[in-house]
Structure 1
Amino acid sequence: MDLLNVRIAAEPDIARIRQVTSAIAEACELKSFAKTRIVTAVLEIARNALQHGNGGRAHFTIRSDRDLCWLVIQIVDQGEGLPEHADFVKGRRPYKAKSGGVRARGMGLGLTGVQRLTDRFDLDSSKEGTRAELAFKLPSSGEHESELGERIAEKIAELSATDPLAELSRQNRELAEAMAERELLIDEVHHRTGNNLALINSFIQLSKRGAQSEETREAMAQLESRVLSVAKVHQELQRANLSDRIVLMPLLENVAKHAQDAFSNEELDITISVFGDQVSVSGSAAIDLGLIVNELITNAYKHAFAGRRSGRIDVSFEQDGLKNDETIWTLTVKDDGVGLRSEIKPERSNSLGWRMVRAMSARLTGTIFTGSNDGFYVRIEFPMAFATELRLEDSD
């Protein structure tokens, strides 16, 4: 009959195993010496599992064998097994580790005493871990195994109810395990995302090189630039150890560089400058900002420099003066191109690029303004809580 499993991952777990073993021994109506014998043997092996086996678990069961009833505790660890030089001899002789006539330290220490304390002791060890099985005869009272199991279960329930520290330790451990599993899954998702983005970008580049028309090559270049913007945010998230906060300036500089590489050619040489305050934003906001800046730079390349061989685009993210008694952040993309007539409102355009800019700006609680002043500019205002200013040590 299975009773319960107890994880062995930290020192509080050893205390938990002591309490559980003691409670089970009491439920089995063992006398003081027999109870002490069981607790001592179990704790010796449990501590070995924690200190030398990278942790593991203890499994408590009740087994019937003819007229005998046994309490069996199996402790399995996750270590690399017993050292190769240890030669353990089974049978009724004590387990000894040969090491120049001196009993080996580490996992072998205390095994002789454990065997003497148990009624039956079995040990298996390999490079995958070590399994120790300790068995103790229980008093023969004619009691059915299920009845004994029920009494032990009640005792364990009482222990959990009257021991809030142990229960808190268990809950904290489960939470830590869940968080560790979550981090592993997130890491795997980011790894797969990076591979997928690289694969998509390779397909786009192949399509662009094989395109026959200039219109198709231009569309492929825009798509490549968008994918690279998302890929850069993904790389920055990994560099920030998946903290979900990204330093904005290096991201915008890379987005600008990728756009410049995608659209510059022998007939058009555009200089792009990126500057502003050192801030961090959330990962999701960084993705949107990268795509917004990429779209606005792309629009400038397509429309601002008709009939010209050179030009300039400035990208900035800065803290601005008070507006409605509040300081705001502003993202500005400005070119020195031909500009637009005042009656033309590109932000109302139904093109895919402007629909993306409007949707992402609204999602970030941003407000769009456009105008012509020695060229064309797009200014998006964000509330102060949108970005966090970096301390000096954060930006080093």
Structure 2
Amino acid sequence: MTLEIVTIRIGVESDIPRVRQVADLIARSLGRDRFAHTRLVTAVLEIARNALQYAGGGQAKFSVAQERGKAILTVRIIDQGAGIDDRDAARDSRRDRGMASGGLGLGLSGVKRLADRFDITSSQEGTRVDLGFFVPVDPDTLADHVAKIDRELVALSAVDPVAELARQNRELAEAMAERELLIDEIHHRTGNNLALIASFIQMSSRTAQLPETKQAMAELEARVHAVARVHQELQRSHRADRVDLIPLLENVARHAKDAFSTDARNIAIDVDGAPAMVASNTAIDLGLITGELITNSFKHAFRDRREGKITIRFAQIDERDRTSGWRLTVGDDGAGFTGAERPERPESLGWRMIRAMSARHGGTIATDGSAGFVTTLTFPPELVVAGD
């Protein structure tokens, strides 16, 4: 059984603070913790503002129900706009427009991540978005909670709206600050764990007797280091979701050189490229790909040679066209490859990783073994995140 709580009209800009007040009151009354509370209010505000800005208004209906033995708060936001013809395209354009207009800029995909339940129905007659949030109350007591919320909503009407909004803003800011501290702590612990794993690998490598074992340990250490470096960059960055790629690749190259160079062999590694901010998961994959290709060069390209060079470059395919894709090139001046089989097709773990991670970002792979060995990975334009 569904119990209706309240319906808020969304017709003018001043209705948005009212939606926020009601969402805040209901979230607190139903016992959502501070972080979950912030997620709920943020998601409701984003959809409510979209309804006002892009459809001319609508209404937000709050209700509670029981779902699989749990209590759930549902917020249904309805508008009578022109609808969404292409949901994916609309999601991206709404995000862009929201950011440009000073809104939250989450887009539908961002709201979907905040809510426990998300559903959208759209036609030429309008759009309906249903947001669901589980609440930590006994489902059998929902009627009592709704009655309590009704009384609080009546009392809310007598509260100074400016003071109430100030209180809500203060609580939301405190919640976001707690979230940032939690994220920092997670990054810190993750970095410590990765450093500990790398230390264990180094200890095992020093006690290994077989050259094959030492080689495998060095490769594993390089992979762990590539991931650890991304976490270090994230901790230093003012953004928690982007990494400056070129410094990351330089560090991966430096570590690989330290791991594989010996007194009898000195291989130079040169890293070059355009400044590029990429998403953190993209940075991890590109760092691992680069580390694997450097490892392959050290293993196969410079046998019986004391010196050599590995070159790494990341740049746009057409530097005059900002809409062109991106190219990551890792090459060496070693022995090259003259076999009939395509060198990028081996079923080794390293090449399987390279192919899988490249495909994850829409990349293609090409190799040339005629003069040294060069691997070129081509990616679509959206690989690099636009700057602020």
TM-score by length of 2: 0.57
Question: Given the superposition, is the C-alpha separation of residues 327 and 242 from structure 1 closer, same or farther in structure 2, using an over 3 Å criterion?
Answer: closer
1:354 aligns with 2:367: no
C-alpha distance in 2 between matches for 1:390 and 1:165:
35
1:94-173 pair list within 5 angstroms: 156-161=152-157, 165=162, 168-173=165-170
Q: Which amino acid aligns with 1:232?
A: R
Partner of 2:118: none
Question: Given the superposition, is the C-alpha separation of residues 342 and 212 from structure 1 closer, same or farther in structure 2, using an over 3 Å criterion?
Answer: closer
Question: Given the superposition, is the C-alpha separation of residues 195 and 153 from structure 1 closer, same or farther in structure 2, using an over 3 Å criterion?
Answer: closer
Question: Given the superposition, is the C-alpha separation of residues 214 and 166 from structure 1 closer, same or farther in structure 2, using an over 3 Å criterion?
Answer: same
Q: Which amino acid aligns with 1:346?
A: P
1:181 aligns with 2:209: no
Alignment partner of 2:285 out of 274, 288, 300:
288
8 Å Cα contact 1:278/1:390 also seen in 2: no
8 Å Cα contact 1:330/1:381 also seen in 2: yes
In the TM superposition, what whole-angstrom CA distance separates every residue of 1:270-318 from its partner, at most 9, and x where no partner exists?
A: 1110001111111111111111100000001101112222111000001
8 Å Cα contact 2:334/2:373 also seen in 1: yes
C-alpha distance in 2 between matches for 1:204 and 1:243:
28
Aligned residue pairs: how many?
Answer: 242
Question: Given the superposition, is the C-alpha separation of residues 244 and 152 from structure 1 closer, same or farther in structure 2, using an over 3 Å criterion?
Answer: closer
Secondary structure (helix, strand or coil) at the match of 2:368 reads: strand
Partner of 1:276: 273
TM-score by length of 1: 0.56
Secondary structure (helix, strand or coil) at the match of 1:193 reads: helix
C-alpha distance in 2 between matches for 1:279 and 1:227:
23
Partner of 2:338: 341
1:207 aligns with 2:204: yes
Q: Which amino acid aligns with 1:186?
A: I
- CA drift of 1:387 comes to 1.1
1:253 aligns with 2:234: no
Q: Which amino acid aligns with 1:364?
A: H
- CA drift of 1:367 comes to 1.2
- CA drift of 1:241 comes to 3.4
Alignment partner of 2:298 out of 297, 301, 304:
301
Secondary structure (helix, strand or coil) at the match of 1:348 reads: coil
1:30-109 pair list within 5 angstroms: none
Of 152-161 and 281-290, more deviation after overlay is shown by 152-161
Partner of 2:188: 191
8 Å Cα contact 2:222/2:255 also seen in 1: yes
C-alpha distance in 1 between matches for 2:346 and 2:320:
27
8 Å Cα contact 1:305/1:337 also seen in 2: yes
- CA drift of 1:390 comes to 6.1
Question: Given the superposition, is the C-alpha separation of residues 347 and 159 from structure 1 closer, same or farther in structure 2, using an over 3 Å criterion?
Answer: same
8 Å Cα contact 1:368/1:380 also seen in 2: yes
Alignment partner of 2:375 out of 367, 373, 378:
378
1:267 aligns with 2:264: yes
Partner of 2:362: 365
Question: Given the superposition, is the C-alpha separation of residues 350 and 155 from structure 1 closer, same or farther in structure 2, using an over 3 Å criterion?
Answer: closer
Secondary structure (helix, strand or coil) at the match of 1:346 reads: coil
- CA drift of 1:243 comes to 2.7
C-alpha distance in 2 between matches for 1:198 and 1:172:
39
In the TM superposition, what whole-angstrom CA distance separates every residue of 1:168-192 from its partner, at most 9, and x where no partner exists?
A: 4454344323322211111110110
Question: Given the superposition, is the C-alpha separation of residues 232 and 325 from structure 1 closer, same or farther in structure 2, using an over 3 Å criterion?
Answer: closer
C-alpha distance in 1 between matches for 2:271 and 2:250:
6
8 Å Cα contact 1:277/1:389 also seen in 2: no
Q: Which amino acid aligns with 1:243?
A: A
Question: Given the superposition, is the C-alpha separation of residues 196 and 328 from structure 1 closer, same or farther in structure 2, using an over 3 Å criterion?
Answer: same
8 Å Cα contact 2:279/2:385 also seen in 1: no
- CA drift of 1:240 comes to 0.5
Partner of 2:309: 312
Question: Given the superposition, is the C-alpha separation of residues 280 and 325 from structure 1 closer, same or farther in structure 2, using an over 3 Å criterion?
Answer: closer
C-alpha distance in 1 between matches for 2:334 and 2:386:
32
Secondary structure (helix, strand or coil) at the match of 2:318 reads: strand
Identity of paired residues, percent?
Answer: 55
Q: Which amino acid aligns with 2:379?
A: F
Secondary structure (helix, strand or coil) at the match of 1:291 reads: helix
In the TM superposition, what whole-angstrom CA distance separates every residue of 1:334-389 from its partner, at most 9, and x where no partner exists?
A: 11111112622122111110111111111122111111241111111111121147
Q: Highest Rg: 1 or 2?
A: 1
Question: Given the superposition, is the C-alpha separation of residues 170 and 334 from structure 1 closer, same or farther in structure 2, using an over 3 Å criterion?
Answer: same
